[in-house]
Structure 1
Amino acid sequence: MFIRTQSNGSRTYLLIVDNQRVDGKVKQRVLHRLGRLDELLASGQLDSLLQS
Structure 2
Amino acid sequence: MFARIKKSGKYQYLQIVENKKEQGKVKQRVIATVGRMDQLHDKNRVETLIRSLARFSEKALLILS
Q: Does TM-score exceed 0.5, indicating one fold?
A: yes
Identity in percent: 40
RMSD between superposed Cα atoms in Å:
0.8
Which one has a larger percent helix, Structure 1 or Structure 2? 2
Give me the TM-score of the superposition, normalised by structure 2: 0.75
Identify unmatched segments of 5+ residues in structure 2: 54-65
Q: How many residue pairs were aligned?
A: 52
Which one has a larger percent strand, Structure 1 or Structure 2? 1
Give me the TM-score of the superposition, normalised by structure 1: 0.92
By relative contact order (CA 8 Å, sep 6+), the higher-ranking structure is 1
Tell me, in whole angstroms, the C-alpha distance in 1 between the residues paired with 2:3 and 2:49. Answer: 11
